[in-house]
């Protein structure tokens, strides 16, 4: 039915009645698997670069959703997006731990959580936006904005001294690669 974003997407991709059921696990499962490794990576390498790279890659993958012409492409893109997303959470939390002293850290982490919730809330308007600009343009704009924010991370976020607010001699001299 015209006016329904699922209709517009299905005219290009084909039958998408199980679209959301497939997309959830397609990104969630790799996100969880990447989470097992990404914390160790964030502990050993520059978290600023990990964060920026994962956001830029995530943006590129989001934009690629707008170019998808087959259901398998959407599943593959969502799978790769899940891996990308699995890397920025440990990088963010590690950076926050070193940017803020213990008494301010909870508030800083809460602000990140509020940002996630606001983003999820804004996502509820997706169907209305798609009805106005089309689903392909929506994904191109969204992906481009992610890339822009990734570049902002590279410009403005600096890698702080690790564990500067922790009195833990075991890790005091550990430096990122």
Q: What is the spatial distance between Cα 153 and Cα 174, in angstroms, rounded to a whole number? A: 23
Above 60 in pLDDT, residue 169? no
Closest CA relative to residue 129, chosen from 113, 145, 111, 152: 145
pLDDT, average across residues 106-112 = 89
80: its two tokens: 């790769």
Q: Per-domain residue ranges for the chain? A: 5-156
- pLDDT of the residue at 176: 56
The better pLDDT of the pair 156, 121 is held by 156
C-alpha distances out from residue 60 to 28, 78, 99, 140, Å: 18, 12, 28, 9
Closest CA relative to residue 140, chosen from 42, 48, 64, 32: 64
5-156 homologous superfamily:
MFS general substrate transporter like domains (1.20.1250.20)
**Pair 48, 158: CB distance under 8 Å:** yes
72: its two tokens: 């398998």
Above 70 in pLDDT, residue 161? yes
């Amino acid at each position: 039915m015209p006016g329904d974003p699922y209709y517009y997407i299905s005219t290009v991709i084909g039958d998408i009645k199980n679209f959301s059921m497939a997309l959830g696990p397609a990104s969630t499962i790799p996100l969880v698997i990447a989470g097992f490794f990404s914390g160790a990576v964030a502990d050993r390498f520059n978290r600023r670069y990990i964060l920026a790279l994962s956001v830029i890659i995530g943006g590129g993958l989001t934009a690629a959703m707008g170019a998808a012409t087959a259901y398998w492409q959407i599943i593959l893109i969502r799978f790769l997006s899940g891996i990308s997303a699995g890397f920025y959470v440990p990088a963010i939390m590690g950076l926050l731990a070193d940017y803020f002293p213990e008494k301010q850290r909870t508030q800083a982490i809460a602000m990140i959580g509020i940002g996630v919730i606001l983003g999820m809330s804004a996502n509820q308007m997706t169907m209305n936006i798609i009805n106005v600009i089309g689903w392909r343009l929506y994904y191109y704009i969204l992906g481009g904005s992610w890339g822009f924010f990734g570049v902002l991370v590279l410009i403005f976020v600096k890698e702080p001294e690790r564990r500067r607010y922790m009195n833990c001699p075991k890790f005091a001299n550990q430096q990122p690669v």
